[in-house]
């Protein structure tokens, strides 16, 4: 099984950096998105954000010790399961980074939509 180590960086930091770069690219006018495409992307971002927000209560259970019993093996597994969920590369940590990146992605899409409108307006003025 291949496990991407994100080039040695914490996975969440690469998610955040990617979305920051995306938003910066849109802010600088590097790309544009028409209204239909932007609306579809924004709907997908909202759906993902709603899912993450809606699952917070049930996912919080991953931060608790699993009820596996009192054997030595269960004791080892309890701490391991919690660590896998909450350490720097853990599921909950990465999900939080992903949720934060959705805000940046939304900003980028909105800016890219504005870029499209500006480009469209300038092109229309040239034709008049």
Give the three-class secondary structure for 96. Answer: helix
Q: Give the angle subtended at the CA of 18 by the CAs of 17 and 24, to the nearest 5°.
A: 85
pLDDT for residue 4 is more than 70: no
Give the whole-angstrom CA distance, residue 123 versus residue 32: 14
**Maximum C-alpha span of the chain:** 80
pLDDT at residue 11 tops 80: no
The pTM (predicted TM-score) of the whole model is: 0.72
Q: Write out pLDDT tens, residues 33-92.
A: 999 999 999 999 999 999 999 998 888 888 887 788 888 888 888 888 888 888 888 888
Residue 2: what pLDDT?
A: 45
Q: How far apart are CA 119 and CA 112, in angstroms?
A: 10
Quick one: which of 4, 2, 10 has its CA closest to 98? 10
- Of 93 and 16, more confident: 93
* pLDDT, the chain, mean: 84
């Amino acid at each position: 099984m291949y496990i991407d180590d994100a080039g040695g960086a914490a996975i969440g930091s690469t998610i955040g950096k990617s979305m920051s770069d995306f938003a910066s690219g849109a802010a600088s006018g590097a790309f544009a998105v028409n209204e239909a495409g932007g609306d579809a992307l924004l709907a997908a971002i909202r759906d993902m954000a709603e899912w993450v927000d809606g699952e917070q209560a049930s996912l919080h259970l991953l931060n608790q010790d699993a009820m596996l019993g009192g054997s030595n093996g269960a004791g080892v597994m309890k701490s391991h399961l919690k660590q896998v969920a909450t350490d720097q590369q853990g599921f909950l940590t990465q999900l939080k980074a992903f949720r934060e990146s959705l805000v940046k992605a939304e900003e980028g899409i909105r800016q890219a939509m504005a870029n499209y409108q500006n480009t469209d307006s300038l092109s229309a003025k040239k034709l008049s």
